[in-house]
């Protein structure tokens, strides 16, 4: 079994005799290892494997099973990975040999699967990447709450307990302790810790502007820390240097022409209804067409795609790869068309590579990660920052290239930790992340926003600055 670092052991010792634990650790700090060591103590305490359910993103289902083998003595025959067809998932859920079930949040949208999990009646419930149940209105939260009502021990694990608003913690803590910390109903919690700055506007159509009541911050923090621990990577890990390199790419005349047309149209759209909150959401979607354009294709109003004849970003990417290979390199990109375009270029250059994105099954993703990390002839992975940015360990890669960035701060920070994490120092003295951008254009501004830990756009002014 892997020996925990000192900071991990302190956290394990704090929570091993508790019924609830919230580990808010940066990506790469070993949340899974800590959770499994706490779980191991529970099993030893009861002298048996307790019925356990682990909710997690589909990409890490197999990884959780692998981590059990590294950090516990639990025989794999007792662990069921709930994946595949509906029939296969139900067979796994109803298999009486399984004491531990690992399932993704979305699976419970199927009623039969949710009912089968309720029948399993887990005594232990763990929410990995618990920010996925941060919305009290979401079906994921409601399903998790329903199937774990009788669970005796609970844990939540995430690096981002809240991103835009501290109200995100309510549903996660409700799962943890049925409201013992922050109350059993969301709205009284919101009224306690937040103030609607627009409540005196008088207009029935006034858009609410809820802001955290800073005078209650000490109380909020005290309650939060009563069952949680915050683990920051820079405070506890010996890490190699992380170097960011920006590569400026010159757009073609064709890209400049289309960019100006889309931008002008977007500004007109923004000014058409400046006080309509829906305009912000729709405008951000339109703004992202600019990023698609810079990555190699034009999305027409019909929704069809028109490929550009020349794509400077791809040319720049291939030049970078020429200088980095045979070192292992992760290429992060967000658009489906980019997977195909980059993969075709790599095939033409006879460069072995794997793909990790939402269009690939969870089982295949794990196989592709293994191929990339263990096979010396496969040195490139094309990865979607969202579907491949959570819970997987790719520390073997000394380099990552952001062909384009995700729009979510959470997804960005998760992706950064795929090869910059615990254990990286054993392999590299330096980890380098490259960013391909066009000077003064939207992709450059997206990178700047994300690096400053800001979400992309929350107002019309934000969008105007972005484009």
Convert 154-199 into a string of H (helix), E (strand) and C (coil).
EEEEECCCCCCCHHHHHHHHHHHHCCCCCCCCHHHHHHHHEEECCC
Give the C-alpha separation, 178 to 185, whole Å.
10
Higher-confidence position of 300 and 98: 98
Q: How many CA atoms lie within 13 A of 192 on its CB side?
A: 15
Give the C-alpha separation, 280 to 445, whole Å.
17
Least confident of 7-16, 83-92, 184-193, 234-243: 234-243
Higher-confidence position of 147 and 208: 147
Least confident of 120-134, 191-205, 254-268: 191-205
Confirm whether 6-236 and 241-466 share one CATH topology.
yes
Calculate what percentage of the chain has a pLDDT beyond 90.
71
> Residue 245 has what pLDDT?
95
| In this structure, CATH architecture of domain 241-466 | 3-Layer(aba) Sandwich (3.40)
Query: Domain 6-236, what fold?
Result: Rossmann fold (3.40.50)
- Pick the closest to residue 387 from 30, 60, 106, 33 (CA basis): 60
- Pick the closest to residue 406 from 295, 249, 257 (CA basis): 295
CB atoms within 10 A of CB 61: 23
Give the C-alpha separation, 22 to 341, whole Å.
41
CB distance 70 to 400 below 8 Å: no
pLDDT tens column, 379-389: 999 999 987 76
Read off the pLDDT band of 277 (50, 70, 90).
low
pLDDT for 460 beyond 60: no
pTM (2 d.p.): 0.77
pLDDT for 394 beyond 70: yes
Q: Where are the domains of the chain?
A: 6-236, 241-466
Q: Tell me the two tokens of residue 365.
A: 């993703």
Give the C-alpha separation, 249 to 255, whole Å.
12
pLDDT tens column, 290-340: 999 999 999 887 888 999 999 999 999 999 999 999 999 999 999 999 999
pLDDT for 30 beyond 80: yes
Q: Tell me the two tokens of residue 393.
A: 């360990």
Read off the pLDDT band of 201 (50, 70, 90).
low
Give the C-alpha separation, 328 to 348, whole Å.
19
Read off the pLDDT band of 275 (50, 70, 90).
low
Read off the pLDDT band of 274 (50, 70, 90).
low
CB distance 22 to 172 below 8 Å: yes
Give the C-alpha separation, 432 to 243, whole Å.
5
């Amino acid at each position: 079994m892997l020996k925990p670092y000192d900071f991990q052991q302190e956290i394990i010792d704090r929570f091993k005799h508790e019924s609830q634990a919230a580990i808010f650790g940066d990506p790469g700090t070993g949340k899974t290892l800590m959770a499994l060591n706490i779980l191991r103590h529970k099993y030893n305490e009861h002298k048996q494997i307790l019925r356990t359910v682990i909710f997690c993103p589909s990409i890490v289902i197999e990884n959780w099973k692998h981590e059990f083998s590294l950090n516990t003595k639990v025989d794999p025959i007792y662990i069921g990975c709930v994946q595949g067809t509906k029939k296969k998932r139900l067979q796994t859920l109803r298999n009486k040999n399984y004491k531990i079930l690992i399932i993704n949040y979305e699976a419970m949208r199927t009623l039969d699967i949710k009912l089968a999990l309720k029948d399993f009646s887990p005594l232990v419930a763990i929410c990995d990447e618990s920010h996925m149940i941060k919305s009290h209105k979401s079906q994921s939260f409601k399903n998790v709450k329903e199937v774990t009502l009788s669970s005796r021990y609970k844990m939540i694990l995430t690096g981002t307990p809240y991103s835009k608003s501290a109200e995100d913690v309510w549903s996660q803590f409700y799962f943890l302790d049925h409201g013992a910390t922050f109350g059993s109903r969301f709205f009284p919690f919101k009224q306690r810790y937040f103030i609607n700055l627009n409540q005196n506007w008088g207009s029935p159509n006034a858009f609410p502007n809820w802001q955290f009541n800073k005078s209650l911050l000490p109380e909020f923090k005290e309650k939060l820390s009563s069952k949680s621990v915050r683990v920051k990577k820079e405070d506890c890990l010996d890490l190699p240097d992380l170097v960011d390199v920006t590569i400026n790419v010159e757009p073609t005349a064709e890209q400049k022409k289309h960019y100006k047309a889309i931008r002008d149209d977007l500004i007109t759209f923004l000014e058409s209804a400046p006080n309509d909150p829906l305009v912000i959401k729709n405008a951000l979607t339109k703004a992202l067409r600019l990023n698609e354009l810079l990555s190699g294709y034009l999305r027409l109003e019909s929704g069809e795609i028109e490929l550009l004849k020349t794509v400077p970003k791809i040319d720049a990417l291939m030049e970078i790869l020429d200088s980095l290979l045979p070192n292992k390199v992760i290429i992060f990109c967000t658009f489906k068309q980019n997977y195909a375009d980059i993969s075709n270029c790599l095939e033409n250059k006879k460069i072995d590579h794997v793909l990790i994105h939402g269009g690939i099954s969870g089982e295949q993703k794990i196989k592709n990660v293994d191929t990339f990390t263990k096979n010396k002839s496969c040195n490139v992975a094309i990865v979607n920052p969202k579907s491949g940015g959570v819970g997987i360990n790719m520390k073997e890669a000394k380099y990552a290239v952001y062909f384009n960035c995700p729009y979510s701060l959470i997804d960005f920070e998760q992706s950064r930790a795929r090869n910059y994490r615990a254990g990286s120092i054993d392999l590299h003295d330096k980890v380098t992340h490259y960013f391909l951008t066009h000077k003064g254009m939207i992709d450059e501004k997206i990178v700047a926003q994300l690096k400053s830990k800001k979400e992309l756009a929350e107002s019309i002014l934000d969008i105007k600055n972005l484009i």
